[in-house]
Structure 1
Amino acid sequence: MKNTIEIEVYQYEKPIKELIGKSIADVNYYEIDYGEPTWNEIEYHSLDYGMELVTSDKSKFYFVWGNEYTQYDVKFRKGNILTEFSTENGAKKYDVTNNQKWTELIGVKISGIESCWSYWSLINEDKRNYYPQDVRIEFENGKEMWISALEIRDGRIIGMQDHLTVAFDKETADKYKIGIKNVV
């Protein structure tokens, strides 16, 4: 019989794997309205709220930072991202479909998805609290992207944040310790 964490990972990945075989047609980012976009870092994209993927069949999926397994983790859902928050509370929508980092992924079928889990423990306690820290998406053209519940500030990596970081190549993911399989 599979252990509990393997079952949790399977149940978490099952809805995300609905993306396999689909291609992304549009991408929208949502972040706090600072008067100008702040998500476009040189190596990665940095989001306060999350991102919405619209597939070629017009289905909508989204990733946001959530708190399903621990205080801050990567949450995935099918449907309207505005069920998580509203544009009235300061969230601003940015259509990033034509952003250079996305152009090689738009219209390309998704071929694989994997979540990377981590854990935390209290001092002097053996119990591990597992949560999805990152999600890796593979595309048929060999490209990959990572979505992580971490924030990079002044080059420092701060995990388990109310923030999403999106990396578009393995070198960047490795540099910021995104996609490291700590569990299963």
Structure 2
Amino acid sequence: MKKPLEIEIINYEKPIKELIGKTIFDVNYYEIDYGEPLWNETEFHSLDYGIEIITSDKNAYYFIWGNEFTQYDVKFRKGNISTEFSNENGAKKHNVKDNQNWSELCGKKIIGIESFWSYWSLINDKKRKYYPQDVRIEFENGKEIWISAFEFRDNTMMQMQDHITIFFDKETAEKYKIGIKNVG
């Protein structure tokens, strides 16, 4: 018999695994309008809001930071990402399909998906609060990406953030401790 956390992870991954077998046609980033895009960091892409993926069958999917399991986690949904934003918050859309990192992935079949969960607990409290921190997507060409509720600010790595960061290679993900099995 499966434990409640195992069931929760399976239920969380089920809609994301709908992406398996699909190919990415288009990619959009959403961040605060700073007048110029600030998402393109040297080692990763860092977004205030999230990422929208359009598949070749014209379906839209998105990852944003959410609060389904804890204050900030990785939220995945099928549909229009703009339903998540109010008109006042100034979310600016950036099409990144032609970015080198994405051009290597667009048109490639998604062959694997895995979520990585973490937890937090109060001091002197043994009860753990589990949440999805990272999602790894694997492509047929051997490439992988990690989508994380992570922010690198003031030379400090912070998980469980109101931010979505995308890592494009395993070495960089490991450097920032992304995709670590903390539970399960």
TM more than 0.5: yes
| Cα shift at 1:86 | 3.9
1:49 maps to amino acid: Y
Which 5+ residue runs of structure 1 have no aligned equivalent? Answer: none
Match of 2:93 in 1: 93
2:55 maps to amino acid: T
The number of equivalent residue pairs is: 184
Which 5+ residue runs of structure 2 have no aligned equivalent? Answer: none
Match of 1:59 in 2: 59
Alignment of 1:113 onto 2:113: yes
Match of 2:145 in 1: 145
Match of 1:166 in 2: 166
1:27 maps to amino acid: V
Deviations 1:42-76, CA, capped at 9 Å, x for gaps? 11000000000000000000000000000000000
Deviations 1:74-109, CA, capped at 9 Å, x for gaps? 000000001100454210000000001111100000
User: What's the TM-score once normalised by structure 1's chain length?
Assistant: 0.98
| Cα shift at 1:159 | 1.0
Match of 1:34 in 2: 34
Q: Take 1:77 and 1:13, find their aligned partners in 2: how far apart are those partners? A: 11
Let me know the Cα RMSD of the aligned residues.
0.8
| Cα shift at 1:156 | 1.7
Runs (4+) of structure 1 exceeding 3 A deviation are none
In the superposition, relative to structure 1, how do residues 135 and 125 fare at CA in structure 2: closer, same or farther (>3 Å)?
Answer: same
User: Percent identity over the alignment?
Assistant: 74
Which deviates more from structure 2 when the two are superposed, residues 99-108 or residues 154-163?
154-163
Match of 2:130 in 1: 130
Secondary structure of the residue aligned to 1:11 is: helix
Deviations 1:134-172, CA, capped at 9 Å, x for gaps? 000000000000000010124321111100110000011
User: What's the TM-score once normalised by structure 2's chain length?
Assistant: 0.98
Alignment of 1:180 onto 2:175: no
Q: Take 1:63 and 1:111, find their aligned partners in 2: how far apart are those partners? A: 18
Secondary structure of the residue aligned to 1:8 is: helix
Q: Take 2:168 and 2:116, find their aligned partners in 1: how far apart are those partners? A: 16
Q: Take 2:46 and 2:139, find their aligned partners in 1: how far apart are those partners? A: 21
Q: Take 2:126 and 2:32, find their aligned partners in 1: how far apart are those partners? A: 38
Q: Take 1:87 and 1:143, find their aligned partners in 2: how far apart are those partners? A: 36
Q: Take 1:117 and 1:56, find their aligned partners in 2: how far apart are those partners? A: 29
Match of 1:16 in 2: 16
